Amino acid sequence: MKKRFQYRLTLLMLGAIFMTGCAGAKETNAETKEVVKEAVAFPQAGEGSEAFVEGAVDVESNSEEQMQASESSENEATVETGKEDSKKNQKATNGSIKVATVGSPNIEILQQAGVFLAEKGYQLEIEVCEDYLTPNQKVVEGVVDCNYYQHEAFMERYNIEHQTTLAEVDKVYYEPMVILSKKIGDLTEVAKGMKVAVSNNPTAVARALWLLQDVELLTLMSDADMNTVKDDIAENPNGLEFVFVDENQLLEQLDVADFVVCAKGFAMQEAINIRDMLLAEEKSDSMMAQKLAQIIVAADAGNQKAKVLKEVLESEEMKQFIATKYQGSICVVEEAVEESKEAENAE
């Protein structure tokens, strides 16, 4: 009896212990489920392991899609960057333009043009020559694309003498001749027998005579041309006396002659303030200015690289550069012609 009682008591104790363990296990499982539920948005309460596995697959799928989208965006960005780099490289590799020249201010003008050409993707290669024949020879031989240093009359003479067919691409600028005086303040004060000092350079003589005709101080023969000389004067109503001197001595004649005809740039280089002495200035639409304007020359007038150089030399940036640097001693032909026409229309 006693043993039976002890046996039952033992069973009751074991059952209590078992029940306590089960309750603890349930609480632990509940806590675990809550942790999983908070850490992973699924499975929701009541869902089984299949929903959990399905949700896990969705997470992996979404993650892969995001990675693929990210890679795609990066690839697209790389392609766009590549396109931009390609454009930049294309802009920077339009090629080189080779041009031959002689002396100043041609060199300085081309150097500045090179800056603007670089912005368009061209590299300007300037070959400076020591004489006036080599630049044309280089064009004929194809060593350079064009040259920039001469005027139309020189090119025409070169073609005749060397049996070549060099062509003018564009007139760019000219250096005007001026009439200066320390003794009179206006051309209306010109009197009979006054002395006019002119350089003994043949080209300078021709330009001086044409300028004097333009301001109506004399009249030239009807067949006068680029090679005009004193003997080509048809009428000299004031009986002007000409004094021909070396160009280096020309400005000294301002203290001797009644007026002097010279290149405006030459006077400015000698640091002479010509503002109060200026009586007249050669216009760009005059025959001599057109014939003696600096031009771009190529083997063919349609040379594309020469045309690119032409566009830059005619640009507003270059016009501003020339106006600022040379203060009127060099004038852009196109601009001067337009101003002249505007002035005529206004009259």
Lookup: tokens for 32: 């675990």
pLDDT score at 342: 44
In whole angstroms, how large is the CA radius of gyration of the chain?
46
Residue 14: per-residue pLDDT: 54
pLDDT at 53: 35
CATH number of this structure's domain 177-282, picked from the four choices 3.40.190.10, 3.40.225.10, 3.40.1190.20, 3.40.50.2000:
3.40.190.10
This prediction's pTM: 0.65
**Tokens, residue 299:** 């083997």
The whole-number mean pLDDT for each consecutive block of 10 residues of the chain, a chain of 347 residues, reads: 52 52 46 39 36 39 49 45 41 84 94 96 97 97 97 95 97 94 96 97 95 97 94 97 95 96 87 88 91 96 97 94 93 57 45
Instruction: Assign 147 to helix, strand or coil.
Output: strand
Beta carbons of 209 and 190 less than 8 angstroms apart: no
**Domain map of the chain by residue range?**
48-93, 95-176+293-346, 177-282
Say if residue 192 is exposed, middle or buried (CB neighbours under 10 Å; 0-12, 13-18, 19+).
Answer: exposed
* Count of Cβ atoms closer than 10 Å to residue 42 Cβ: 15
Phi, psi of 217 (to 5 degrees): -95, -15
What's residue 90's pLDDT?
44
Per-residue pLDDT, 11: 53
DSSP 235-264: E-TT-PEEEEE-HHHHGGGGGTSSEEEEEH
pLDDT at 13 (0 to 100): 58
Q: What CA–CA distance (Å, rounded) separates 243 from 267?
A: 18
End-to-end CA separation in angstroms for the chain:
149
Which distant-in-sequence residues (6+ apart) come within 8 Å of 256 by Cβ? 195, 197, 243
Within this chain, domains 95-176+293-346 and 177-282 share the same CATH topology: yes
Name the token pair of 91: 């802009």
pLDDT of residue 268: 84
Tell me the two tokens of residue 249: 């001595």
What tokens appear for 134 in the block? Answer: 């080599």
Nearest to 30 by CA among 51, 45, 16, 18: 45
Q: How far is CA 79 from its chain centroid?
A: 30
To which CATH superfamily is domain 95-176+293-346 assigned? Periplasmic binding protein-like II (3.40.190.10)
